[in-house]
Amino acid sequence: MATIIARAGGERCAEIDPTALPQDAQGRGPPDAGFLDGAYHAIRGRIKRLRYALEAVAVIYGKPADAMLRALRRWQEKLGTQQDAAVAGRRLKALASAPPSKGFPPETMFLMGRLVEHYAGAAMRARKLSTRGYRKVRERWKKLRVCLDDSVVNDAPGLPDSGRESWSC
């Protein structure tokens, strides 16, 4: 299985396998709506680390790396939207369940409930888009992997010739 390796100063600084992202119970892809928001947040962090490692070597791998980076950015953004909605919904629920001494008027409680509903819908929509983002990353990874497999195993390829922008994979 290929990995993306970024080197800094001749030493390995990141080695990330994007195919090692969490799978659902049957191993068919990204976790579904029942998966905890915290796990999605952890996936987002792994995407960010992968993106940073790939950015370090993208000039070497050219268009396949650029396409992968675009897909990773979009997926990370969708997961961020989902996380923001989940956090806002939890915060509003916590405020609403505070002791009555807080004294929220009924109108405020009603609007808080509407906001919780809105954020739940936003999280659900982002989760669906996230599944599409996962598929895009998988497609892009397959193309980039061909390019990686063509390079020397576990060794960063040399810089492209002065007449070429990047490797042609």
Task: Return the minimum-mean-pLDDT range out of 47-61, 83-97, 122-136, 145-159.
Answer: 145-159
- Position 113 pLDDT exceeds 60: yes
Residue 103 lies in a domain: yes
Q: Of all residues in the chain, what percent carry a pLDDT higher than 90?
A: 17
Residue 29 lies in a domain: no
Residue 164 lies in a domain: no
| Average pLDDT, integer, range 90-102 | 77
Q: How many domains does the chain have?
A: 1
Question: How many C-beta atoms lie closer than 10 Å to residue 107's C-beta?
Answer: 8
pTM: 0.64
Residue 9 lies in a domain: no
Residue 93 lies in a domain: yes
Residue 58 lies in a domain: yes
Residue 121 lies in a domain: yes
Give the residue numbers spanning the domain of 55.
47-141
- Position 70 pLDDT exceeds 90: yes
